[in-house]
């Protein structure tokens, strides 16, 4: 039986081209989050390398490699659950994935999500980016069990697909963590809106973790790491600067929301997928 409450932390850190410095920064923040009472911490998308398609194959490592070992050690040394943002993972056949590893308090890997929806966009007068130039898409929904409850994880652009979140909720996820890096085109208009919608639709807690904003980078992150409750209310949100967002999750509140407005019980999937629809 999960505890009624838990504390979670999103680490909005600086990311530069030095892989080891990024790992050192992440480790220091994970330790600080634990000292502030966090039981689960999440790192940003591509926390260990610049968010540039041409860089991903250069920084990519296989599961169990040096970055994986450091992340496992961070979780073990701080005795914290760690959703390790995301990093370029080189698969057995040489394909590169945008991957989030999940570790328990002992440093054991208990989850792994490969970004399903690759960020290929071309907004008129705004952002152009094409992850598929160097990345391969994943194909699995990811939830994992802890003594704190069942959680889900997805990565950035995945959040724009409501079916994925509903699938996680139906598999028991009561909170979803989203390492992400919205940009200066989509961030101001879609970031908060999207996180609130996914939380409200599924009556779950959602936490998004972004890198801090670096105006000198080729890809500029919106920042604004965020936590939203099952009523769709923003519990906390950072600005563009470096820092830790702490939030308290209350499962009893979630049960009250689901009892008063039973959206999941009122679903009619036989209508949504009917040929008559």
Rounded CA separation 127/85 (Å): 22
Q: Which residue has the tokens 């209350």?
A: 250
Nearest by Cα to 133 from 117, 119, 123: 119
Instruction: Tell me, rounded to whole angstroms, the distance of Cα 24 from its chain centroid.
Output: 20
To the nearest 5 percent, what fractions of the chain are helix, strand and coil?
30, 25, 45
What stretch of H or E contains 26? helix 19-35
- Distance from C-alpha of 16 to C-alpha of 218, rounded to nearest angstrom: 11
What's the full length of the chain, in residues?
Answer: 277
Strand ranges, E, within 124-222: 128-130, 143-146, 149-153, 175-179, 205-209
Collect contacts of 160-166 with beta carbons under 8 A, ≥24 apart: 160/117, 160/194, 161/116, 161/117, 162/197, 162/198, 162/201, 164/116, 164/117, 165/198, 165/201, 165/202, 165/204, 166/201, 166/202
CA distance 39 to 6: 7
- Residues with catalytic annotation? 45, 115, 156
Are 211 and 12 within 8 A, CB to CB? yes
For residue 53, CA distances in Å to 44, 115, 178, 214 come to: 16, 14, 20, 17
Dihedral angle, C-alpha 265, 267, 269, 270, nearest 10 °: 90
């Amino acid at each position: 039986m999960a505890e009624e409450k838990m504390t979670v932390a999103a680490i909005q850190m600086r990311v530069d081209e030095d892989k080891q410095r990024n790992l050192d920064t992440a480790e220091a923040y994970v330790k600080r989050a634990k000292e502030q009472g966090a039981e689960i911490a999440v790192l940003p998308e591509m926390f260990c390398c610049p968010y540039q398609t041409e860089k991903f194959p250069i920084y990519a490592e296989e599961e169990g490699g040096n970055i994986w070992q450091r992340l496992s050690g961070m979780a073990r040394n701080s005795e914290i659950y760690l959703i390790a943002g995301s990093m370029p993972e080189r698969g057995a056949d040489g394909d590169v994935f945008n991957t989030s590893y999940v570790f328990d308090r002992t440093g054991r890997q208990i989850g792994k999500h490969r970004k399903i929806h690759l960020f290929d966009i071309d907004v008129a007068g705004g952002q152009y980016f094409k992850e598929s130039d160097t990345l391969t898409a994943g194909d699995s929904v990811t939830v994992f069990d802890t003594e704190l409850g069942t959680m889900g994880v997805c990565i950035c652009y995945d959040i724009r697909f409501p079916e994925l979140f509903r699938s996680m909720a139906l598999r028991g996820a009561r909170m979803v963590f989203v390492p992400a890096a919205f940009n200066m085109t989509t961030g101001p208009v879609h970031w908060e809106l999207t996180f609130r919608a996914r939380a409200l639709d599924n009556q779950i807690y959602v936490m998004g973790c972004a890198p801090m904003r670096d105006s000198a980078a080729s890809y500029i992150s919106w920042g604004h790491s965020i936590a939203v409750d099952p009523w769709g209310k923003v519990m906390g949100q950072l600005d563009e600067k470096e820092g830790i967002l702490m939030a308290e999750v209350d499962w009893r509140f979630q049960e009250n929301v689901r009892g008063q407005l039973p959206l999941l019980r009122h679903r009619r999937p036989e209508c949504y997928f009917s040929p008559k629809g």
